[in-house]
Chains A and B, each alone.
Chain A
Amino acid sequence: MATQAAQATQNIILAGFGGQGILFAGKLIAYAGLLEGREVSWLPSYGPEMRGGTANCSVCLSDEPIGSPLVVSPDVLVALNQPSFDKFEHDIAPNGLALIDSSLVNCTEKRDDLHLVGFPATKLAEEAGLKGLANVVTVGRLFAEIGFCKKETLFAAVEKCVSAAKIALVEKNKEALELGIASFEEMKKVSERRPRKEGE
């Protein structure tokens, strides 16, 4: 499944509470695409959102010029809160991936044609002393799941997206990426011992 999602074009929606860093996570993915010379677009939802309301952005990575940057039927949904998952679950393309933060989202799956991956991004981030970086942990996990770029590109993208003046922050972001990637390896080890269910 994971390899199947890693195709020439990725249409991604990232969604969560305002303040969770959803737009930044999208930018990180888009920048990785840019650094690999791909066509990319990043489009935020905008409006008079209150603090704590939901925010989302569309990210497209492609080898062809991108038409509409507005993703209406994503191959990948990243949802960091319940309202976002509920809102976009039905829009995900058949056999698409839903990556959700199981610390905050109830993972009951209503569709049987989705690859649903829940992992406790917020909890992992907080336990690792990376409070507020669940968004970047999730990007690391998404990378591990679908490999939308080379690993070194992802880390180079962090340096582009975080002000060079904030070296400590750059390092924390990299740690967060590693944490997300490690969570995938961990899951794989577990599932090797306990084979994944059909359709996972």
Chain B
Amino acid sequence: MSEKVLMKGNEALAESALRAGCRFFFGYPITPQTELAAYMSKRMPKEGGTFLQAESEIAAINMVYGASAAGARVMTSSSSPGISLKGEGISYMAGADLPGVIINIQRGGPGLGGIQPSQADYAQATHALGHGDLHVIVYAPSTVQEMADCAYSAFDVADKYRTPVMILADGMLGQMMEPVVLPEPKNTAPEKPWATVGHNHARPHNIVNSLFLSADKLEGKIKERFERYEVIKRDEPRAENFMTDDAEIVVMAFGASARIARSAVVSAREAGIKAGLIRPITLWPFPAFAIEETIATAKSYLSVEMNMGQMVDDIRLVVAGRAPVEFFGHTGGVIPTPQEVLAKIEAMHEAIGGKAAEAAAALTGGKAGA
């Protein structure tokens, strides 16, 4: 096993992708994903791989499309405005059943927005990453170690289901350093008999294509893909439930906001409030199972997000009226504090008839962990 090193999230994503056998990276500069591309530009030539700074995010994602069609493990990274530009290519990849890994180090939007951490692309990533009937598997790591782990497994998952995979992180996770144990290099790319690599007169020609002019054919193709999506929904949802066994107030948060929510939940427990945290690791497929596990004890749910409330709608779909679902968040790059989340938990606790807790005083700013 490798030694524990201190690394930025952006760098861990890059190094781990390399160790997963990714040898092609196409990107375009944007804050706050900068270090990822810089790391790749340094490492790729030494691994005999290709780093290419494309003329635009659009070109970059289409290079991903091309490299994937040619059978390579390939990745691109960007931040929110750049991801919007990649939407077209991601849709084409989904339509042509091409694997590939896309990283979004989110910043504030809409428009140019800001450059501080945000989770405002949740809805885009999980519901409308491109035009057409499509889904993309979305991971939401919340530590640098998990970023490394997600990047490492994302290529296998992408190849297995022949689908684009997105790792949805944010400026905080991308920029921060934490200890990480990097995975061992592997070469697990499967055979890709569908790839366009030249047929050498040994097989009929392969066609990588998302165009089906016959409506029936297109419908058939999409239905076939949705059968694969059903397998993904069955086998791939992942979440971490923390202190949820007897939780009455179940907080749900992913990525950076899950770290903040976790601190608040620990403080709430110290104050005698039965709070717990569900931390989705996959955002699509949405880990409904994790909510079902809590529904028996839950008196209310709280979604904590760095946006104006996006995942909260998916929680409501699963909870389906069985308990109230509330929201707390900040947007535009403002990072919620554990105290604010705790105050919200306390207010909810009071609303469901619990006695007012006085934990706020116990929690000081930026306190690590407990």
Contact = CB atoms under 8 A, between A and B. Distances in A.
A44 B4 CA distance: 21
Contacts of A40: 6, 178-179
A160 B179 CA distance: 13
Contact of A11 (B32, B175, B368, B370): B368
A93 B364 CA distance: 8
Interface string B342-362: 000000000000000000000
Given A47-B115, A70-B335, A60 B366 contact: yes
Given A42-B176, A42-B177, A46-B115, A68 B6 contact: no
Interface in B89-115: 115
Contacts, number: 100
A132 B335 CA distance: 33
Interface stretch (A71-79, A107-115, A121-129, A182-190): A71-79
B263 A68 contact: yes
B176 A68 contact: no
Contact of B178 (A11, A41, A44, A73): A41
A11 B367 CA distance: 7
Contacts of A46: 31-32, 115, 171, 175
Nearest to A96: B364
Given A41-B178, A47-B115, A62 B369 contact: yes
Interface residues on A, range: 20 to 34
Interface residues of B, number: 31
- The secondary-structure label for the interface of chain B is mixed
A90 to B, nearest CB: 12
B233 to A, nearest CB: 30
A67 B368 contact: yes
B23 interface: no
Contacts of B6: 27, 30-31, 34, 40, 42, 160
B368 A64 contact: yes
Given A34-B6, A67-B369, A70-B366, 10 more contacts: A9-B367, A30-B6, A43-B176, A46-B32, A46-B175, A62-B369, A66-B368, A67-B368, A69-B178, A74-B366
15 contacts: A30-B6, A40-B6, A40-B178, A41-B177, A41-B178, A41-B368, A47-B115, A47-B116, A62-B369, A64-B368, A67-B264, A68-B260, A69-B172, A72-B337, A91-B365
